[in-house]
A and B are shown apart, each in its own frame.
Chain A
């Protein structure tokens, strides 16, 4: 280490140059940075629901849709229908669009005296009241799934835009929003946009806003803190450059690996800033303390490096380890946050230990720093606190018991919930649009049931179609289910239309059906047509219904319902909320129903709604795993550092206190567990352990100096307490910027991390000394060498 210190202080310009070059290199990479707001990309590929979702994307041409809601005073006027028809056509022209379903372009299946006709609902736009009336009749008598194209009160129209699978949905959304806004200004109708691609679009915008706010806010907070702490230009500029460089390196490296910014990694820069500045603060405060003794700038820089490298390296390692534990969460984007924050922490360590001493070896030591009177006010407070703890000794056990009881009571209110829509602030246009759409239409969140037949044509079997139809009818009885659709609707409609529109035939044909038809026979040399009754197989009936439809259909009319070989089909169930707690209940009921309906066929639930739940389940598991793993990691590291597994366990005491309170607060204030708030715990462990390490390190020194378990408390407070308080406040203030996020869940996380930093520092400065005073563990006393 001494040789490194010599190297840096003797050749500072080299180290500055290397840092500048690396910063330039990593900054240059940022030109390729992109955003990935899609939460499903966070999932590992080996999850069955995700695999099925991807498979569905291969079999069916479209799995995602954008929804346009249109409202106005009166929908059914020639002008408004004309506007909707024109909008429908204009949407169809986008390259990303697979197809559009609106009330002006759906296909009707109509019975005719001799047969059946499939036609567009509008061959020309209706102009007269009579034509409008006819149009409405055609629409409402069609047996079509209308719940997503006309509102229940008939006051609003919906357009479903199915996007192709191999396109970037955001290309469409970002091009479509401006054109819809233009229409909104030009026509009397109002337009609302919803659906997952739209949510993702706004998530992406929110992420960009958040990152700007975090970066700006983070720099501002750090600036103020540094101003208060050091009141010098170097005390502000040097830490700020360390912080900015650490962020640029880390983000540059991420981009180099082709990793996009996600909803989880957007907090990476601000986390890193708060952690990175702590190293600088430690180094610089030591520098200004030593400035009283050492006057040569190189010597001063060298001594700062040598005395501080060890604790800075230790705390960086524990912090990095805590973040690495995020990889056990099973959620890819959280894992990436963990890996790159760890790398970032090590980058910050590297920069702090080269860039800072290099500059300190160059710039002269200011005169005022040498003359400055040391302020003891904070140290006085710290030792007062230490003495107060000793007096309060008897109160600790009741205090802990009360805290524990109140926490456990709070934790019973814990719930896990996430809604990507309710993650937006209440006045956000997206949230208002979604509320409207979900209230008036079938819903924009969907479960999809993949039914995979054994061989080609399997879907034409009546028992499978019956199963699908029964499943749909059951689904529609559930609360929050807006609609359920599949190929079976078409087959039932055709069956009805071909039986003189009798409602009794609005069903799937039975396995065997008795049909009444005619045949031609020769009688006395004359051909006559006579009635016949025959038993035919339902499978043939279905096949021939579909054949009849195909005779006048378009090539891909049913491509999104059934594959080309009629081997795989899809049932879509639309839900008017994306609240996970509700989706979970619906999923459980649908799964149970599915079990009995398709005994010989694979039928499994997937779709956006299912994936949301899978994310949620991962969170619960991930929450537990990553907490356990980070606790184990910091225990191992501290045991290694203190060469005692028992002391390792002591180090984790403040963490348990902080974690307990964290979950209690979540319970009390109804902050739900989710993808974002779960991250809090692991981060808290990685950073919060530092305070315990600092405290125990110093406490043992004091015990070694011969102080007893009581005397050592105020002494330790005096020497380390101040640093711990400053460190935790700095980090907490830095993290508190996260609470400014536009997203509710991330803001929650900001609040929680801030609180956890403070509670873990409080734990290190209160619970830990109290524990030591009460238990008096012999293992703490260092062996005399």
Chain B
């Protein structure tokens, strides 16, 4: 997940603090520092995904979540649904290639088959939630132009405000975003809030990170609330029992493993 890779920024933050800014950091600098760090090879957690309609209906899914950054720069994620009962055992594998289209597979135990899900752009919704595949994946630093805007304060803390604009029409189309405004705490480089604008630059979604959990000394976004302001729909993603570097083997993230009932 993108936020997982943000999370490791404490290290670089310490570095920045100790060195002091040689010059005022640009938007690009800040994003680069935020994105380019990682303090773990793999991680696992229990994820609760809650969807809420404006009418107050909710749909809750619980997922065992595994993720690993592989040597070749790919990010692999495997999710196993544990609830509700009729989808228990359903598995989802996603391999984000540094270059080329992502691979997405869903294992349906009732069919005894793995089904590939076409990855037409990354703007599609993940599990009918307000998070798109793009939102839960790790973003390419070079896809966007960054403009640093006037700093602000967020809950009393100094905060960078960075406007991100897609570099190409293709990226705009793929992600479905015409603009993203990110609010990043200056001391810890936590991306506490983001505002997403659709392709016609209408305000589309607001992401609030409600809770951080310290993992390996790093703040990890363990409770994210995405609110689609256009359709008034909300998705909440909560991470529990976070473990890192348990040594998940690479072939755990394969179709074969996906298909094995645990």
On A, residues with C-beta under 8 Å from B are 58-59, 61, 112, 114-117, 119, 123, 456-457, 460, 498, 515-520, 527, 529, 532, 534, 536-537, 539-545, 547-548, 550-557, 559, 563-565
- Give the residues in chain B near A112, CB-CB below 8 Å: 116, 118
Contacts of B55 in A (CB 8 A): 58-59, 61
Q: A61-B55, A114-B115, A552-B124 are in contact. List 10 more A-B contacts (CB 8 A).
A: A457-B86, A498-B111, A498-B115, A539-B86, A540-B86, A543-B110, A544-B111, A548-B108, A552-B118, A553-B125
Residues in A neighbouring B235, C-beta threshold 8 A: 555
Contact of A551 among B86, B127, B228, B259 (CB under 8 A): B127
Which residues of chain B from 138 to 160 have any CB-CB distance to chain A below 8 Å in the complex?
Answer: none
The answer for the CA separation of A409 and B22 in the assembled complex, in Å, is 104
Q: How far is the CB of B199 from chain A (nearest CB, A)?
A: 11
Given known contacts A114-B115, A548-B106, A553-B128, is B57 in contact with A563 (CB within 8 Å)?
A: yes
* Contact, CB under 8 Å: B118 / A119: yes
Q: List 27 A-B contacts (CB under 8 A).
A: A112-B116, A112-B118, A115-B114, A115-B116, A517-B111, A520-B256, A520-B260, A536-B112, A537-B110, A540-B87, A540-B110, A542-B86, A543-B86, A543-B87, A543-B110, A544-B109, A548-B117, A550-B128, A551-B117, A551-B127, A552-B124, A552-B125, A553-B125, A554-B125, A555-B228, A555-B235, A564-B51
Among A58, A518, A547, point to the contact of B113 (Cβ < 8 A). A518
How far is the CB of A569 from the nearest CB of chain B, in Å?
Answer: 14
| Residues on A with beta carbons closer than 8 Å to the beta carbon of B81 | 547
Contact A115 B112 (CB under 8 A): no
Cβ contact within 8 Å between B57 and A564: yes
Give the interface centre of B81, B106, B114 by most chain A CB atoms within 10 Å. Answer: B106
Kindly report which residue of chain B lies nearest to residue A120, judged by CB atoms.
B120
CB-CB under 8 A from A556, the residues of chain B are 53, 231, 233
A527 touches B256 (CB 8 A): yes
Distance (whole angstroms) from the CB of B177 to the closest CB of chain A: 16
Known: A519-B259, A547-B87. A534 touches B128 (CB 8 A): no
**Is the CB of B129 closer than 8 A to any CB of chain A?**
yes
- Which residues of B have CB within 8 Å of A58? 55
A519–B114 Cα distance when bound, in Å, is: 10
Q: How far is the CB of B66 from chain A (nearest CB, A)?
A: 18
CA distance A117 to B118 in the complex (A): 6
* Chain A residue nearest to B173 in the complex (CB): A123
Given the interface contacts A119-B120, A460-B86, does A551 sit within 8 Å of B113 by beta carbon? Answer: no
5 nearest CB pairs, A to B: A517-B112, A115-B115, A543-B86, A564-B57, A114-B116
Specify which chain A residues have a CB less than 8 angstroms from the CB of B196 in the assembled complex.
none
Which residues of chain B have C-beta atoms less than 8 A from A116's C-beta?
A: 115, 117
Which chain B residues lie closer than 8 Å to A542 at the CB level?
86
Is B59 an interface residue, CB under 8 A from the partner? yes
Interface contact B109-A540, CB-CB below 8 Å: yes
Selected from A59, A540, A564, the residue in CB contact (under 8 A) with B59 is A564
Question: Does B84 sit at the interface, judged by CB under 8 A?
Answer: yes
Q: Tell me, in angstroms, the Cα distance from A544 to B113 when the chains sit together.
A: 11
Q: In angstroms, how far is the closest chain B Cβ from the Cβ of A556?
A: 6
Q: Judge whether B115 and A547 touch: CB under 8 Å.
A: no
Residues of B within 8 A of A555 (CB): 51, 53, 125, 128-130, 228, 231, 233, 235
Alpha-carbon gap, A116 to B55, bound state (A): 30
A59 to B259, CA, bound (A): 37
Interface residue B92 (Cβ < 8 Å from any Cβ of A): yes
Distance to closest chain A CB from B25 (angstroms) = 37
In contact, B110 and A457 (Cβ under 8 angstroms): no
What's the least CB distance linking A707 to chain B, in Å?
A: 77
Q: How far is the CA of A589 from the CA of B45 in the complex (A)?
A: 54
Looking at the assembled complex, report how far the CB atom of A134 sits from the nearest CB atom of chain B, in whole angstroms: 16
Point out which of A114, A534, A539 has the most chain B C-beta atoms below 10 A from its C-beta.
A114
The answer to whether B58 has its CB under 8 Å from any CB of chain A is: yes
Closest Cβ–Cβ distance, residue B91 to chain A (whole Å): 11
Contact A520 B111 (CB under 8 A): no
Residue among A537, A553, A564 with max Cβ neighbours from chain B (10 Å): A564
Task: For B84, give the chain A residue with the smallest CB separation.
Answer: A457
B interface bracket (residues with beta carbon within 8 Å of A): 35 or more
Which of chain A's residues has its CB closest to B58's CB? Answer: A564
Enumerate chain B interface residues (CB-CB to A < 8 A).
51, 53, 55, 57-59, 81, 84, 86-87, 90, 92, 104, 106, 108-118, 120, 124-130, 228, 231, 233, 235, 256, 259-260
By a CB distance below 8 angstroms, the chain A residues around B92 are: 551
Given A457-B86, A547-B87, A559-B53, answer yes or no on A518-B117 (Cβ-Cβ < 8 Å). no
> B128 to chain A: which residues have CB within 8 Å?
550-551, 553-555, 557
Residues of B within 8 A of A457 (CB): 84, 86
Contacts A529-B256, A552-B125, A553-B125; A544 near B130 (Cβ below 8 A): no
Q: Taking CB as reference atom, which chain A residue is nearest B133?
A: A552
Q: Given the complex of chains A and B, what is the CA–CA distance between A544 and B89 in angstroms? A: 10
Q: Is A565 a contact partner of B115 (Cβ separation < 8 A)?
A: no
Give the complex CA separation of A492 and B122 in angstroms: 28
Give B130's nearest chain A residue, CB to CB: A555
Q: Tell me, rounded to whole Å, the shortest Cβ–Cβ distance linking A396 to chain B.
A: 69
- For B58, B84, B235, the residue with the greatest tally of chain A CB atoms inside 10 Å of its CB is B84
What is the CA–CA distance of A544 and B129 in the complex, to the nearest angstrom? 17
- In the bound complex, CA of A181 to CA of B109 (Å): 54
* CB neighbours of A527 from chain B (8 A): 256
> What CA separation (Å) do A518 and B125 show in the bound complex?
28
A552 to B51, CA, bound (A): 15
Whole-angstrom distance from the CB of B90 to the nearest CB of chain A?
6
Contact: B110 with A515, CB < 8 Å?
A: yes
CA distance A537 to B110 in the complex (A): 7
A59 to B56, CA, bound (A): 10
Chain B residue at minimal CB-CB distance from A113: B116
Given A544-B86, A552-B117, A556-B53: A518 and B112 interface contact (C-beta under 8 Å):
yes
Q: Write out the residue numbers on chain A whose beta carbons fall within 8 Å of the beta carbon of B260.
A: 519-520
Chain B residue nearest in CB terms to A540: B110
Of listed B53, B57, B86, B129, residue having the most chain A CB within 10 A:
B86
A554 to B123, CA, bound (A): 11
A555 CB to closest chain B CB (Å) equals: 5
Q: How far is the CA of A116 from the CA of B114 in the complex (A)?
A: 11
Chain B residue nearest to A456 (CB atoms) is: B84
Contacts of B51 in A (CB 8 A): 555, 564
CB distance from A59 to the nearest CB of B (A): 8
Kindly state the separation between the CA atoms of A82 and B23 in the bound complex, as whole angstroms: 51
Knowing A547-B90, A547-B108 touch, does A565 contact B228 (C-beta < 8 A)?
A: no
Give every chain A residue within 8 A of B228 (Cβ-Cβ).
555
Contact: A541 with B125, CB < 8 Å? no
Q: Could you say which residues of chain A place their CB within 8 Å of the CB of B118?
A: 112, 115, 117, 119, 552
In the bound complex, CA of A702 to CA of B48 (Å): 94
Q: Which residues of A contact B256 (CB under 8 A)?
A: 520, 527, 529
Please state if A544 and B108 are interface contacts (CB–CB under 8 Å): yes
In the assembled complex, the Cα of A554 lies from the Cα of B126 at a distance in Å of: 8
Highest count of chain B CB atoms <10 Å: which of A112, A516, A544: A544
Quick one: which of A519, A544, A551, A565 contacts B110, CB cutoff 8 A? A544
Are A117 and B117 neighbours in the complex by a CB distance under 8 Å?
yes
Establish whether residues B125 and A565, one from each chain, have CB atoms under 8 Å apart when the complex forms. Answer: no
Report the bound CA distance from A555 to B92 in whole Å. 18
List the B side residues contacting A548 at CB < 8 Å.
Answer: 106, 108, 115, 117
Most chain B CB neighbours (cut-off 10 Å) among A114, A552, A557: A552
A527 to B129, CA, bound (A): 35
Tell me the complex Cα distance, A547–B117, Å. 12
User: Would A541 and B117 count as touching, CB distance under 8 A?
Assistant: no
Q: Which residue of A lies closest to B115 (CB)?
A: A115
User: Which B residues are CB-close (under 8 A) to A532?
Assistant: 112
> Separation in Å of the B190 CB from the closest CB of chain A?
27
Q: Answer whether A541 and B111 are a contact pair too, CB < 8 Å, given A527-B256, A555-B235, A556-B231.
A: yes
